[in-house]
Amino acid sequence: MSQFRGKAISWELTNGVIEVALHREPCNEIGSQSLEELEHLASSLPALEQQAHALIFYSRLGCGFSAGGDLRELYRGMQAMERKAALAGLREFHQRIHHVMNTFDASPLTTIAAVHGIVFGGGLELSLVCDLIIADKTARFCFPELRLGIIPGFGGIPRLKRDLGNAVVRDLILTGRSFNATKAQQIGLVSQVVAEGEALRVARATAAQLGKFDRTTAAAAKKFAKPIPYDELRQEIDVVCELYASPAVEAALKKFVESTDAQPYLP
């Protein structure tokens, strides 16, 4: 299928480039709907890869790329189930999202995240599976999970450790602070910073350049340059699920979901 229109994501294959648009209001929170559609994309990739050399993720929403996991859906789900069943559901969700992220990470396509505005938590983790991140000047990145008593659960720490220096990783995770595109480029997270509204155009131009190279060679280079930390990713699921079992996390989620504070996203 060279094109798909979903409720959370849509994609289209044109001139060897798969463009995946995120468009779930209010800010591309990743919940069960997004996961199902990302799984559909992941299972469609082997066929798409026969006709493509690059894949671009971008957001059609003004707020930004993605605010991360859908904490409201998560909290409602936890409330609606027995504790044991809720924790089992959480583990299943994380195993499924890891499978999807690992599929994108391992794809022989060259993958690009074209980001702007909010790139938080799971949204940042989706960017991290991509080979290149192109950010416009409005982009703001953050791993705020520690505020909730958890750690990033969609592969964040293992992929940060793969890509960045460990001191930087500790700073970003342990302080939970947000940072702009210039800082993201300084620490090596972002490969290009562009003017407001230009990320997708530059990503398309980059993808067009990538199309000039032999695919087998490009895929071999990617595999060599970007090993996937499978053991640590599996460990992450265990640690996240263990942390979710703490009553403090449920209390923190409740506080976040029910907050009328004007600054719930500020750590």
Binding site for another protein (CB under 8 A): 27, 63-64, 67, 117-118, 137-140, 142, 175-183, 261-267
- Could you tell me the strand order of the sheet in which 118-120 lies? 64-66, 118-120, 140-142, 179-180
Task: Give CA–CA dist 27/93, Å, rounded.
Answer: 20
Please say which residue, 177 or 215, places its beta carbon nearer to another protein.
Answer: 177
State residue 142 phi and psi, 5-degree precision.
-165, 145
145 is catalytic: yes
Please say which residue, 49 or 171, places its beta carbon nearer to another protein.
Answer: 171
Q: How far is the CB of 161 from another protein (least distance, A)?
A: 22
Q: Which helix (H) or strand (E) holds 73?
A: helix 71-80
For residues 55 and 111, the answer to whether their CB atoms sit within 8 Å is yes
| Tokens (6 digits) for 127 | 């960017």
Task: Give CA–CA dist 138/147, Å, rounded.
Answer: 24
Q: How far is the CB of 252 from another protein (least distance, A)?
A: 16
Q: How far is the CB of 64 from another protein (least distance, A)?
A: 8
DSSP assignment letter at 85: H
| Tokens (6 digits) for 12 | 């289209």
Please say which residue, 108 or 176, places its beta carbon nearer to another protein.
Answer: 176
Task: Give CA–CA dist 115/169, Å, rounded.
Answer: 20
3 state DSSP class of 55: strand
Beta-carbon contacts of residue 183 (< 8 Å; ≥ 6 apart) = none
Question: Max Cα separation, the chain?
Answer: 54
Please say which residue, 4 or 179, places its beta carbon nearer to another protein.
Answer: 179
Please say which residue, 183 or 215, places its beta carbon nearer to another protein.
Answer: 183
For residues 18 and 12, the answer to whether their CB atoms sit within 8 Å is yes
Beta-carbon count within 10 A of 260 CB: 5
Burial class (CB in 10 A: 0-12, 13-18, 19+), 142: buried
Please say which residue, 96 or 137, places its beta carbon nearer to another protein.
Answer: 137
The one catalytic residue among 37, 125, 236, 250: 125
Q: How far is the CB of 67 from another protein (least distance, A)?
A: 7
The one catalytic residue among 19, 29, 37, 145: 145
250 is catalytic: no
Q: How far is the CB of 23 from another protein (least distance, A)?
A: 17
Q: How far is the CB of 183 from another protein (least distance, A)?
A: 6
Residues annotated as part of the active site: 125, 145
